[in-house]
Structure formats: C-alpha cells, structure tokens
Amino acid sequence: MLSMVRALLEQGKLFTKFQATRAANRVLYLIPEAGIGPFSARLRTFRLMDYVGERLFVRTLSAKTPLTLADPRLLEAAEGADVFLDTAIRFMSGDENNAAEQKIFADSLFALQQAGARTITGAHHSPKNFSKETVMTLENVLRGSGDIGAMLVTAWGLKQVDAASNSIYIANVKPRDFQPCEPFIIQGRPSLDQTGYFEVTHPPGFAGALEDHKQGRGRPEVANKESKIAEAREMKQQGASYRQIAKQLGVSTGTVSGWLSA
C-alpha cells in the first residue's frame, strides 16, 4: 500500500509498471497496529518522508487516543483525500464473521465517501488455510463475512511466492465494471532498499498460474540454462516476443520474463 501511496503522490508508476492517471492532493494513512518508530522506517524505505505533514498524513499506534472512522476530524480531513486503512480489521467493531456487524463497518466506509474521500483502500487478512490454496478467489483471499467482499469495488489477492526475494504474486479477484489485467509478480529485494520500489519481474500475461509458483514445489532445472539465457537476450534484441522466445527454447513465458528482467 505504501507503493500505491508513492505512485499517487508522485503521479508515477506503481511497481515501476502501472502509470497513475492522477496525482493525490492528500493521502491519509491510518495504521493503528504499528508505532511511529517502525512506521517511519518504512516511510524512509519508500522515500516518503518528505511528503509527511505536507500531502501525506499518518496516524499510528503511538497516538494517545484511538480514532474511529466516524470521528468528525477524520471525516473533515477525508474530503478530497485518498484514505488507507492498515489493516481494515482495526477499524471493525464486533465479529468479522457477523454480517450485521460488518454492515456497520460498510456504512462507516460509505460515510467516508460521502464526506468526500476520493478513494478508500484497506488491507485485510486471508483465512489461515489460504496458504494451501493454488488459486485465488474473492472467497478464499478474504477472511470473515462475505459482506466484506460484497462492499468492495475491487479486490486484489496477494501471496508471497519466494521469501528470499520477497516475490509476491498478485491477482485481481473482484473487478467491478472494468477489465483487470492478468496476474503479475513483483519483487522487493534488492530493489526496495536500492530505489524504494517493488519491481515487476513477471508482467501481466507472463506470471502463469499461482500453482506454478507454490513455495517448496520446486521446478526442474533448465538444461543448458546459461546458453538459453544468452539466446533469449539475443532473440529479444532482434524483436522476438516472449512467447516466441519461450516456444523456441522450450520454456515457459514466465521463465523468459525472469531471465530478461534479471
């Protein structure tokens, strides 16, 4: 979500790939489960400290009093702002599996919209058994009542597929009134420390299925890998597409994408 914040504030490219169509006038980032010290470190990693107090306003666990979504101060500040809830459950009251109680949460989000919030983005947890899933659906990526998913304009599922490189598989599981891109994979190491950006290693159309990236599954070693990488680079320079290269070399398009983005 901090990558989204940076793209909005800079009107740049999310994950160095997806262009933000409009800059944010103001961003409110509410994170009541992290103190100001650790969160400041995250802001520095994402090169966001210069925006704090100007166009980026944060509220953390270090605040002396809790903040509800119905607080008049928040409703006033939300006008024209992009609002981030990290995580959404910290702003829910009652049982997340109770539809009636989640309606109250939905109503509070709609009140924020009515107060003029441009967008509201929330992070939410998946059920424990999601770690075993090989596909993403709205039902299996969101913990709690189905009403949580029903209120959303769109939802994206995220699953880490490689811990060492912090590679994350991302797929849209609920598009409303738009055609989403195909799943893609972003990588955090080492680019986050170097530039403050996640980078797309497998763009839409080249990430394959989530099952292909299941941790611990392992893949057979590609024979003559180094020579094939060199051949892939040469074919790319000659104008060949990823699919053409993959077909010629007998590997997947995702493998080709990983080679050429390394």
Give CA separation, 224 vs 44, 200, 212, 216, 255, in Å: 42, 26, 21, 23, 14
- Per residue in 11-50, pLDDT (tens digit) is 999 999 999 999 999 999 999 999 999 999 999 999 999 9
CA distance 262 to 245: 16
Residue 210 has pLDDT above 50, yes or no: yes
CA distance 175 to 150: 11
- Per residue in 194-206, pLDDT (tens digit) is 999 999 999 999 9
CA distance 244 to 258: 15
pLDDT of residue 218: 46
- Per residue in 62-114, pLDDT (tens digit) is 998 889 999 999 999 999 999 999 999 899 887 787 788 888 888 999 999 99
Residue 120 has pLDDT above 60, yes or no: yes
pTM of the model: 0.80
